[in-house]
């Protein structure tokens, strides 16, 4: 079969404090038309840097490639080509979907506007036609209520819906190669499965190739034909997925395969109830600006009861939009809800603002999207130290720094 993508001797270096740090070293692989290649490795192994090099989205001139590096699409060299030709390749020949949709989607623009933008820029599509195409793209990626989604902002959608929107945007101009950079990492298992099935269906329909970047070997086994395993910027093993999984040769590949989680025996908890929610209801109101002006409601959580025991882990499973995150936010006081939330035998609704502040020290949440949670204007030390300043105001600077380093 014809090779769609060919990468040979790709080197990527980053300039840091006057010194060059080599992030990718002599990486070579190819992807045939209509096939899927998985690029696997731990965080920092060079997977994403390799992918970003294809579309030349690295922070040049801080990033650089050696003179021997080569990236070809259908036999034509694209590394270092002029910006106008590169723009034609981006979105037309090659598209990319990223790990964090919230950092890729414009929070100030409605979904419809963002999808139409690519149609108008690349294809000069008239606005009325662009509206229809945008709707059909959302239908293609199997989004429920596509008309409502077109008129929504990114924050109003669930993680799975946002990722489907990203896929729709990537498919606007029917690319020959789709680069998927850990697109399911932040999603639950049921949504992940549906999205992978969707990508396979779209691949068959559109005949495109896929470069799938992941650290999850379970996905690779059922999704790709070929796999390359990366470690510290170097490909340490490559081959057919079945061959690599059955007969791994490199110690790192064996380590990755051994790290696949195994099921544990369930032990009934005898501990005390730490957190209990009774009859939790959460509703969202959506206001229409145009006729008819009648508002509509989404009942995100309906009469939910849950108990979490001291020292135990409780799994809350469900598809995207099922209300998991809404309930979690309500439990820590970040979402308005009706019902009772009892923490350490105390009804949180009966506490004053000051009393709730002390409770929050022991009732914390880790969000789905780190980029959306971490302020880009603060250092890591400032972000971690902020909570210490609020809850432990008597700590001096040295004591705070000690706790920050210990936490890291």
DSSP 46-73: SHHHHHHHHTT-S-TTTEE--TT-EEEE
Stretch(es) of the chain classified as CATH 3.40.50.300 = 3-258
How do strand 63-64 and strand 3-16 relate by DSSP bridges? antiparallel
Q: Within the chain, which residues score under 70 in pLDDT?
A: 1, 186-188, 261-269, 287-294, 320
> What pLDDT score was predicted for residue 243?
93
> What's the pLDDT tens digit per position in 275-294?
999 999 999 887 666 556 66
What pLDDT was estimated at residue 292?
60
pTM of the model: 0.69
**What whole-number distance in Å separates Cα of residue 270 and Cα of residue 70?**
61
Euclidean distance between CA atoms 151 and 175, whole angstroms: 25
Q: Name the fold adopted by 3-258.
A: Rossmann fold (3.40.50)
Q: What is the pLDDT of residue 290?
A: 56
Is the separation of the CB atoms in 161 and 143 below 8 Å?
Answer: yes
| Residues 315-371 pLDDT 10s | 888 776 788 889 999 999 899 999 999 999 999 988 888 888 888 889 999 887 777
Helices (H) and strands (E) in the chain, counts: 16, 15
Q: Rounded distance, CA 86 to CA 180, Å?
A: 19
């Amino acid at each position: 079969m014809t090779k769609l993508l060919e990468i040979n001797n790709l080197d990527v270096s980053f300039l840091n404090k006057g010194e060059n740090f080599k992030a990718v070293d002599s990486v070579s692989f190819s992807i045939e038309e209509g096939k899927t290649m998985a690029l696997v490795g731990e965080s920092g192994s060079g997977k994403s840097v390799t992918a970003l090099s294809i579309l030349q989205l690295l922070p040049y001139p801080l990033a650089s490639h050696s003179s021997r590096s080569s990236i070809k699409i259908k036999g034509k060299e694209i590394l270092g080509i002029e910006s106008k030709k590169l723009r034609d390749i981006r979105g037309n020949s090659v598209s990319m979907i990223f790990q964090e949709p919230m950092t890729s989607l414009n929070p100030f623009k409605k979904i419809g506007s963002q999808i139409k933008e690519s149609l108008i820029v690349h294809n000069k599509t008239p606005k009325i036609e662009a509206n229809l195409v945008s709707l059909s793209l959302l239908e293609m990626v199997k989004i429920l209520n596509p008309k409502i989604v077109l008129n929504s902002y990114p924050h109003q959608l669930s993680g799975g819906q946002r990722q489907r929107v990203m896929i729709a945007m990537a498919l606007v101009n029917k690319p020959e190669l789709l680069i998927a950079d850990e697109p399911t990492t932040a999603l639950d298992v049921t949504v992940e499965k549906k999205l992978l099935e969707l990508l396979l269906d779209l691949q068959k329909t559109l005949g495109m190739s896929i470069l799938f970047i992941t650290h999850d070997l379970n996905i690779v086994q059922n999704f790709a034909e070929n796999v390359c395993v990366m470690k510290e910027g170097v490909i340490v093993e490559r081959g057919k997925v079945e061959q690599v999984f059955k007969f791994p040769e490199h110690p790192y590949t064996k380590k990755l395969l051994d790290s696949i989680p195994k099921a544990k025996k369930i032990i009934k908890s005898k501990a005390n109830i730490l957190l209990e929610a009774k009859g939790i209801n959460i509703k969202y109101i959506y206001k229409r600006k145009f006729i008819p002006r009648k508002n509509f409601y989404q009942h995100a959580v309906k009469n939910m009861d849950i108990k979490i025991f001291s020292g135990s882990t409780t799994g809350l499973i469900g598809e995207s939009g099922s209300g998991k995150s809404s309930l979690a936010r309500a439990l820590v006081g970040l979402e308005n809800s009706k019902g009772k939330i009892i923490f350490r035998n105390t009804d949180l609704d009966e506490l004053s603002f000051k009393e709730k502040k002390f409770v929050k020290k022991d009732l914390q949440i880790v969000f789905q999207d780190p980029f959306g949670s971490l302020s880009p204007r603060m250092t890591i030390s400032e972000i971690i130290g902020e909570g210490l300043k609020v809850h432990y105001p008597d700590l001096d600077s040295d004591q705070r720094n000690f706790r920050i380093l210990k936490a890291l």
